[in-house]
Amino acid sequence: MFLEELQPEEKIAFLELAVIIASIDGNLSIFETSILNKYQKELGLEDYEPAGMNLDDILNSFKSERSKNIVMTELLQLIYSDGVFHEQEGEFVRLIKEHFGFESNEFGSFKDWIDKIKELSLTKEKW
């Protein structure tokens, strides 16, 4: 949704991060695969093959508050795409939040926003 705002280096880092988070529970669902494909298209990286970047390098790629908010919002959408929030995903989100310097109460607002997006998407599909 906002990924086009990321800088070229951030786009690659985001895709690397999204692949890590999508496969963290050992099961890449059809929902997660669909979102990863959407991300690649939106980022203009359809032919990009994940290189397995180091997590610190990935997270250090995001400099601005806006970029960090975009990344967290998109990742939460990916995490909730299969309707399940796994323990490993929760730990990973905590690590990212810590690295980005987010307050603990910011997670609730991100999750609420993702829930609203999902609700609107479902409503749109019914029309």
For 90-103, the pLDDT digits (tens) are 888 889 989 999 88
CB 102 within 8 A of CB 111: no
pLDDT of residue 107: 60
Segments of 18-122 assigned E as strands: none
DSSP 91-117: HHHHHHHHHHT--HHHHHHHHHHHHHH
User: Would you report the helix, strand and coil content of the chain in percent, each value rounded to 5?
Assistant: 75, 0, 25
Q: At 113, give phi and psi (nearest 5°).
A: -65, -45
Among candidate residues 43, 18, 45, the one with its CA nearest the CA of residue 31: 18
What's the pTM value of the predicted model, to 2 decimals?
0.81
Give residue 81's pLDDT: 76
The 8-class DSSP code of residue 64 comes to S
